[in-house]
Amino acid sequence: MAMSETEMLETAMSFAPVLMFDRNEPFYPDFVGVSVLDRSGPSPSFKRDVQFPAEAVQYVIEYAIWWDYEIGHLYEMEHVWIYVGHDGEVVDCEASFHGKVLRGLLKDRVNVVGRHICLYSQPGKHAFSPLPVVFELLPDLYSAAGTKAGCDGLLVNDLFRGYFETNEQIDAQVTSYLQTKAFVPSMEFEEYLLKPEMFMTWDQLFHIIPQRIKDRLVELEQLYGT
Protein backbone atom coordinates (compact mmCIF):
# COMPACT_ATOMS: atom_id res chain seq x y z
CA MET A 1 0.00 0.00 0.00
CA ALA A 2 1.88 3.03 -1.25
CA MET A 3 0.71 6.41 0.02
CA SER A 4 1.56 9.78 -1.43
CA GLU A 5 3.18 12.27 0.93
CA THR A 6 -0.12 14.14 1.26
CA GLU A 7 -2.03 10.95 2.01
CA MET A 8 0.57 9.88 4.57
CA LEU A 9 0.40 13.18 6.45
CA GLU A 10 -3.40 13.30 6.35
CA THR A 11 -3.57 9.74 7.64
CA ALA A 12 -1.10 10.50 10.42
CA MET A 13 -3.06 13.55 11.50
CA SER A 14 -6.32 11.58 11.53
CA PHE A 15 -4.80 9.06 14.00
CA ALA A 16 -2.56 11.48 15.93
CA PRO A 17 -2.33 10.78 19.66
CA VAL A 18 -3.74 13.22 22.18
CA LEU A 19 -0.90 14.16 24.53
CA MET A 20 -1.31 15.15 28.15
CA PHE A 21 1.28 17.55 29.60
CA ASP A 22 1.94 18.66 33.15
CA ARG A 23 0.47 22.12 33.64
CA ASN A 24 3.95 23.38 34.63
CA GLU A 25 5.62 21.87 31.54
CA PRO A 26 8.09 24.34 29.96
CA PHE A 27 8.57 22.58 26.59
CA TYR A 28 6.02 21.47 24.02
CA PRO A 29 6.62 19.62 20.72
CA ASP A 30 8.01 21.54 17.75
CA PHE A 31 7.55 19.03 14.92
CA VAL A 32 6.30 15.54 14.14
CA GLY A 33 8.13 13.35 11.63
CA VAL A 34 5.85 10.71 10.11
CA SER A 35 6.54 7.31 8.59
CA VAL A 36 3.96 4.72 7.50
CA LEU A 37 5.15 1.10 7.63
CA ASP A 38 3.12 -1.38 5.58
CA ARG A 39 5.28 -4.37 6.52
CA SER A 40 7.35 -5.47 9.48
CA GLY A 41 10.87 -4.12 9.55
CA PRO A 42 13.29 -1.63 11.11
CA SER A 43 11.99 1.69 12.38
CA PRO A 44 13.28 4.63 10.31
CA SER A 45 13.97 6.77 13.39
CA PHE A 46 14.20 4.54 16.49
CA LYS A 47 16.50 1.63 17.30
CA ARG A 48 13.95 -1.17 17.04
CA ASP A 49 12.18 -3.51 14.64
CA VAL A 50 8.45 -2.90 14.27
CA GLN A 51 6.81 -6.31 13.97
CA PHE A 52 3.14 -6.93 13.26
CA PRO A 53 0.91 -9.62 11.74
CA ALA A 54 -0.18 -8.55 8.25
CA GLU A 55 -3.48 -10.38 8.61
CA ALA A 56 -4.49 -8.13 11.54
CA VAL A 57 -2.62 -4.87 10.83
CA GLN A 58 -2.79 -2.91 7.58
CA TYR A 59 0.00 -0.48 8.51
CA VAL A 60 1.77 1.19 11.42
CA ILE A 61 2.07 4.96 11.70
CA GLU A 62 5.31 6.02 13.36
CA TYR A 63 5.34 9.47 14.94
CA ALA A 64 8.80 10.87 15.72
CA ILE A 65 7.89 13.80 17.97
CA TRP A 66 10.60 16.45 18.18
CA TRP A 67 11.34 19.05 20.85
CA ASP A 68 14.21 21.53 20.61
CA TYR A 69 14.60 21.11 24.37
CA GLU A 70 13.75 18.82 27.21
CA ILE A 71 14.57 19.71 30.80
CA GLY A 72 17.79 17.67 30.89
CA HIS A 73 19.38 18.50 27.53
CA LEU A 74 19.13 20.26 24.20
CA TYR A 75 16.67 18.41 21.91
CA GLU A 76 14.41 15.46 22.50
CA MET A 77 12.67 12.98 20.24
CA GLU A 78 10.03 10.60 21.52
CA HIS A 79 7.96 8.13 19.52
CA VAL A 80 4.44 6.78 19.20
CA TRP A 81 3.44 3.85 17.02
CA ILE A 82 -0.22 3.45 16.04
CA TYR A 83 -1.21 0.06 14.60
CA VAL A 84 -4.14 0.38 12.18
CA GLY A 85 -6.31 -2.59 11.20
CA HIS A 86 -7.74 -3.37 7.77
CA ASP A 87 -11.06 -1.88 8.93
CA GLY A 88 -9.37 1.48 9.64
CA GLU A 89 -9.59 1.10 13.40
CA VAL A 90 -6.78 1.35 15.96
CA VAL A 91 -5.54 -2.16 16.76
CA ASP A 92 -2.69 -1.30 19.12
CA CYS A 93 -0.33 1.45 20.24
CA GLU A 94 3.21 1.62 21.56
CA ALA A 95 5.19 4.57 22.86
CA SER A 96 8.79 5.35 23.77
CA PHE A 97 9.86 5.51 27.41
CA HIS A 98 13.50 6.37 28.13
CA GLY A 99 14.82 4.36 25.20
CA LYS A 100 12.40 1.49 25.81
CA VAL A 101 8.92 0.84 24.47
CA LEU A 102 5.68 0.67 26.49
CA ARG A 103 2.27 -0.52 25.41
CA GLY A 104 0.12 2.55 24.86
CA LEU A 105 -3.31 0.94 24.62
CA LEU A 106 -5.01 0.23 27.94
CA LYS A 107 -7.21 -2.74 28.67
CA ASP A 108 -10.76 -2.31 27.31
CA ARG A 109 -9.47 0.60 25.18
CA VAL A 110 -10.38 3.10 27.87
CA ASN A 111 -7.82 5.65 26.60
CA VAL A 112 -9.07 5.65 22.99
CA VAL A 113 -11.48 8.27 21.68
CA GLY A 114 -12.42 7.46 18.10
CA ARG A 115 -9.07 7.11 16.33
CA HIS A 116 -7.07 8.98 18.96
CA ILE A 117 -5.15 7.41 21.83
CA CYS A 118 -4.48 9.48 24.94
CA LEU A 119 -0.90 9.35 26.27
CA TYR A 120 0.73 11.18 29.19
CA SER A 121 4.12 12.87 28.87
CA GLN A 122 6.58 12.74 31.77
CA PRO A 123 7.02 16.30 33.08
CA GLY A 124 10.07 17.85 31.44
CA LYS A 125 11.47 14.53 30.18
CA HIS A 126 8.59 13.68 27.79
CA ALA A 127 8.65 9.87 28.00
CA PHE A 128 5.15 8.56 27.24
CA SER A 129 2.83 6.36 29.26
CA PRO A 130 -0.90 5.64 29.09
CA LEU A 131 -0.99 6.02 32.88
CA PRO A 132 0.52 9.02 34.72
CA VAL A 133 1.03 6.94 37.88
CA VAL A 134 3.94 5.23 36.09
CA PHE A 135 5.94 8.46 36.37
CA GLU A 136 5.59 8.41 40.15
CA LEU A 137 7.61 5.18 40.18
CA LEU A 138 10.64 7.00 38.77
CA PRO A 139 13.11 7.95 41.54
CA ASP A 140 14.20 11.11 39.69
CA LEU A 141 10.74 12.39 38.72
CA TYR A 142 11.22 15.65 40.64
CA SER A 143 15.00 16.01 40.65
CA ALA A 144 15.17 15.60 36.83
CA ALA A 145 12.95 18.65 36.45
CA GLY A 146 14.62 20.55 39.29
CA THR A 147 18.17 20.18 40.58
CA LYS A 148 19.31 18.11 37.57
CA ALA A 149 17.94 20.52 34.94
CA GLY A 150 20.40 20.81 32.06
CA CYS A 151 22.71 18.14 33.43
CA ASP A 152 23.27 16.46 30.04
CA GLY A 153 24.08 19.58 27.98
CA LEU A 154 23.82 18.94 24.24
CA LEU A 155 22.99 15.28 23.79
CA VAL A 156 24.59 13.63 20.74
CA ASN A 157 23.10 10.19 20.14
CA ASP A 158 23.96 7.68 17.42
CA LEU A 159 21.28 8.91 15.03
CA PHE A 160 22.85 12.38 14.79
CA ARG A 161 26.52 11.55 15.33
CA GLY A 162 28.49 13.33 12.62
CA TYR A 163 25.82 15.99 12.08
CA PHE A 164 26.75 18.06 15.13
CA GLU A 165 28.96 17.75 18.19
CA THR A 166 29.34 19.30 21.61
CA ASN A 167 32.05 20.54 23.95
CA GLU A 168 32.37 21.85 27.50
CA GLN A 169 31.38 25.39 26.54
CA ILE A 170 28.25 24.28 24.68
CA ASP A 171 27.24 21.94 27.49
CA ALA A 172 27.72 24.72 30.05
CA GLN A 173 25.53 27.11 28.02
CA VAL A 174 22.80 24.51 27.64
CA THR A 175 22.95 23.81 31.37
CA SER A 176 22.74 27.51 32.23
CA TYR A 177 19.68 27.96 30.04
CA LEU A 178 17.84 24.86 31.23
CA GLN A 179 18.44 25.72 34.87
CA THR A 180 16.30 28.80 34.23
CA LYS A 181 13.50 26.40 33.17
CA ALA A 182 13.67 24.15 36.24
CA PHE A 183 10.23 23.50 37.74
CA VAL A 184 8.27 21.38 40.15
CA PRO A 185 5.92 18.95 38.39
CA SER A 186 2.35 19.48 39.46
CA MET A 187 1.28 16.02 38.27
CA GLU A 188 -1.87 17.69 37.01
CA PHE A 189 -2.16 17.18 33.26
CA GLU A 190 -3.74 19.18 30.48
CA GLU A 191 -4.70 18.06 26.98
CA TYR A 192 -2.47 19.06 24.08
CA LEU A 193 -3.31 18.52 20.41
CA LEU A 194 -0.59 18.29 17.79
CA LYS A 195 -1.12 21.01 15.18
CA PRO A 196 -1.39 20.22 11.45
CA GLU A 197 1.49 22.56 10.58
CA MET A 198 3.84 20.51 12.79
CA PHE A 199 3.57 17.39 10.62
CA MET A 200 6.11 16.44 7.96
CA THR A 201 7.72 13.25 6.69
CA TRP A 202 10.49 11.73 8.77
CA ASP A 203 12.99 12.43 5.97
CA GLN A 204 12.02 16.11 6.01
CA LEU A 205 12.36 16.32 9.79
CA PHE A 206 15.72 14.55 9.79
CA HIS A 207 16.96 17.02 7.15
CA ILE A 208 16.10 20.13 9.21
CA ILE A 209 17.28 18.89 12.61
CA PRO A 210 20.97 19.89 12.28
CA GLN A 211 19.97 23.46 11.42
CA ARG A 212 17.55 23.54 14.37
CA ILE A 213 20.44 22.55 16.64
CA LYS A 214 22.73 25.17 15.11
CA ASP A 215 20.07 27.87 15.57
CA ARG A 216 19.65 27.00 19.24
CA LEU A 217 23.41 27.06 19.76
CA VAL A 218 23.62 30.53 18.21
CA GLU A 219 20.90 31.73 20.59
CA LEU A 220 22.73 30.25 23.58
CA GLU A 221 26.01 31.80 22.51
CA GLN A 222 24.30 35.20 22.34
CA LEU A 223 22.90 34.68 25.85
CA TYR A 224 25.90 33.16 27.60
CA GLY A 225 28.94 33.61 25.34
CA THR A 226 31.90 35.57 26.65
- Residues 6 or more apart whose CB falls under 8 angstroms from that of 86 comprise 56, 57, 58
**Amino acid found at 25:** E
Residues 153-210 pLDDT 10s: 998 888 888 888 899 999 999 999 999 999 999 999 999 999 999 999 999 999 999 9
pLDDT at 225: 78
Task: With both helix axes pointing from N to C terminus, report the angle between 202-224 and 168-179 in degrees, rounded to the nearest 10.
Answer: 90
Mean pLDDT value of segment 61-72: 98
Predicted pLDDT of residue 226: 65
What DSSP letter does each residue of 36-66 carry, written as one string? EESSSEE-SSSSSEE---TTT-SEEEEEEEE
The order of strands in the sheet holding 90-97 is: 100-103, 90-97, 73-84, 59-70, 31-37, 199-201
Closest CA to 16 of 58, 52, 75, 62: 62
Length of the chain equals: 226
Read off the pLDDT of residues 128-167 as tens digits, 9 standing for 90 and up.
999 999 999 999 999 999 999 999 999 888 888 888 889 9
DSSP symbol at 191: E
For the segment 203-218, the average pLDDT, to the nearest whole number, is: 96
Cα torsion 178, 179, 185, 189 to 10°: value is: -30
Phi-psi region of 108 (alpha: psi -120 to 50; beta: other; left: phi over 0): left
Q: What integer pLDDT is reported at residue 159 of this predicted model? A: 86
